[in-house]
Amino acid sequence: MRLLRNNQILRIAVLAGSLALLPAGPLFAGPIAYLVTVNTGAISGTSGFLDFSFAPGYDSQSAFVTIGSFAPGGSLSGSPVVNGGVLGVLPGTVTIDNSTAFNDYFQGFEFGTTIQFLLSFGGPAVTSPDGTSSGSTFGFGMFENSAGTIPLLTTDPFGNAFTVDVNPDGSTTPIIFPAALDAPPAATLESTTPEPAPCALLALGLVVLFAVSKKEIQLYSVFKYAIRLFFSPSVSMSL
């Protein structure tokens, strides 16, 4: 079989190097994020509580959720009650992980017309999922009483206005509950797509550029000489 010409060898070299730059996981940089807006106009002027929770399954991978860019539209009251893996205090950034069975941030609140925050998910369960049989679930709810037994603006029996499941494959699934029977949900979630990682974009572009040739190269030759070129430096090639 004849040896490849100079331009073909260059294409193979760049293609192999570009493929090496591509990540094994998703091409996106950063965590999965949602911009959350909650319409609290129906209960504006009343007092209650906000509840943020993050619960693992029985064999969940490590994960965390961050509540940031908190714009309450009302006012926080008193000190929060926290349980489990919780760091931070609103209106600053709060991070909740799934390190215990009950990870929860419970905060007194004077309701205004809206609540808005950025919800971001990260950790191995998101960035490098191993396909465990159970994920984790984030929940946001509003309650009338400090015991957290009288939910507001939801039909969910557990009091959540919405939940977000972190699935075993690293994806997420939001579930939004109506504010009341025959009423729209109080919460809306807008997915914010992270920008692709620059290195991965460059590698992918090079793969496309150099993989497409004006003249077809036999697949056998591509793999044969790419392997010899990268793993057998002593191999001599007649150009």
Q: Where are the beta strands (DSSP E) in the chain?
A: 32-39, 47-56, 64-71, 75-83, 86-87, 94-97, 104-110, 114-122, 136-143, 160-166, 172-176, 187-192
Write out pLDDT tens, residues 71-112: 999 999 999 999 999 999 999 999 999 999 999 999 999 999
Taking only the tens place, the pLDDT of each residue in 34-55 is: 999 999 999 999 999 999 999 9
CA–CA distance from 4 to each of 95, 207, 219 (Å)? 55, 19, 12
pLDDT at 28: 46
179-234 confidence digits (pLDDT tens): 999 999 999 999 985 555 444 444 444 444 444 444 444 544 544 544 454 444 44
